[in-house]
Amino acid sequence: MSLPPSGTRPAPAREIDMMRCRACGREDRASEGYPCDGCGTFICLACTIRGATLCRDCLQRNPPS
């Protein structure tokens, strides 16, 4: 029954990785968003919930038929 001492795993909790969503332009946590289906750029969780899987650029290039 020996627990490892806390602080052994690197946890950058204070560094929140904010990224700009390429679909709506807002900044959100990169870890909570999803990559664009077309180019892999960041799309925020709110857009993903709304059904957006492509960023604005990809949407213009490949409009849903």
* SS3 label, residue 30: helix
Pairing of strands 42-43, 27-29: unpaired
Among 29, 36, 49, 61, binds Zn ion (CB under 5 A): 36
Q: Min. distance of Cβ 56 from Zn ion in angstroms? A: 8
In the region spanning residues 4 to 23, those forming contacts with Zn ion, defined by CB under 5 A, are 21, 23
Cα separation, 48 vs 65, in Å, equals 19
Cα separation, 62 vs 54, in Å, equals 9
Smaller CB separation from Zn ion, 13 or 58: 58
Which residues of this chain interact with Zn ion, rule CB under 5 A? 21, 23-24, 36, 38-39, 44, 47, 55, 58
